[in-house]
Amino acid sequence: MKKILITGGAGYIGSHTAVELWNAGMEPIILDDFSNSQVEVLDRLEEITGKRFVFYRGDCSDKTLLHEIANAHQIQGVIHFAAFKAVGESTQSPLIYYKNNVGSLVILLEFMQEKGIKDLVFSSSCTVYGQPDVLPVTEATPRKEAESPYGNTKKIGEDILVDFVKSKAGVRVVALRYFNPVGAHPSAKIGELPIGTPQNLVPFITQTAAGIREKLTVFGNDYDTPDGSCIRDYIHVVDLADAHVKALHFLTDQPLNFYDVFNVGTGRGNTVLEVIHAFEAVNNLTLPYEIGPRRAGDVVKTWADTKKINQVLGWFPAYDLDACMRDSWRWQQFLMKG
């Protein structure tokens, strides 16, 4: 059975990807420092899959640990999730973002070369496009000036990978540019773990519905969109996880010194108000919200052109917005059971 090292594998997207890797007949080896995840996730993963995944607690910039893992397991690929990802925090503390997100990637690549590990799937983001001039966004859409140090670490990460591949390092790399990951595993045993006040829309919606937050503020309804609120491409986290599995399979058929990029979205855009109304309808509840001022740095509208990932990876989303809203709420209810 192929063993795949997942850095940040106990995190939101990492844990869902571990499940889909197992379902696809591969064995995840999880590395996580639990700075933005909880060790209990491993128990939940065992409940879902029946398998206790091997895991290592630590930082993916710890090369000694990386070698310890590779000496104990024949690692045949890496999925690199481990990174800080709070846009606002990155503006306050840019150096910890560059040190962690960029520094760790460099060390991970050195490790892969030292061990002869060829395949890497890199977690990138649609944030590299900024506000696209033309929609939907294709992989040929020019990247723009990053809106935040967080977004810049993703652009720099992609640039590092391009140069590393060009240096004939003998690796094969796919960068996946995520649009907006939302939702949770249908089992409601894993999902996005809220640490502090949620910055993202859907966790704030579910915490408001749960009474943890008094009301949701819609950050502006005077934009040039059908109902005035911003548009995003919300993709179910299980669909996103499946894209990583398909990317790994794709890499095994590629020559060495290979690099490619794929948008991972549904190809559909929804406004904030549409998301709120879908959440209310699917879960048969009323969400207290108010319209507030715009949030600085927000992209007005973005959604993916998914032709490339559809045709090249054979990947298509299985979940729609209603399923995302249903699963998000079921996860929040699981969390409230304590």
Contact 244, 212 (CB under 8 A): no
309 counts as binding ligand WQD under rule CB under 6 A: no
Which range, of 91-99, 104-112, 165-173, 212-220, touches ligand WQD by CB under 6 A?
212-220
Structure tokens belonging to residue 37: 């995840």
Among 217, 221, 254, 310, binds ligand WQD (CB under 6 A): 217
Nearest-angstrom CA–CA distance, 205 and 212: 10
CB closer to ligand WQD, 113 vs 217? 217
200 counts as binding ligand WQD under rule CB under 6 A: yes
Segment 136 to 175, residues that bind ligand WQD, using CB under 6 A: none
Segment 73 to 132, residues that bind ligand WQD, using CB under 6 A: 85, 87, 125, 127
CB of 84 to ligand WQD, least distance (A): 10
Nearest-angstrom CA–CA distance, 219 and 206: 17
CB of 105 to ligand WQD, least distance (A): 15
Segment 219 to 248, residues that bind ligand WQD, using CB under 6 A: 219, 230, 232
Q: Taking CB positions, which residue lies at the least distance from ligand WQD? A: 230
Which range, of 29-37, 107-115, 217-225, 318-326, touches ligand WQD by CB under 6 A?
217-225
The catalytic residue positions are 150
178 counts as binding ligand WQD under rule CB under 6 A: yes
Residues that bind ligand WQD (CB under 6 A): 85, 87, 125, 127, 178, 180, 199-201, 204, 216-219, 230, 232, 272, 295, 298
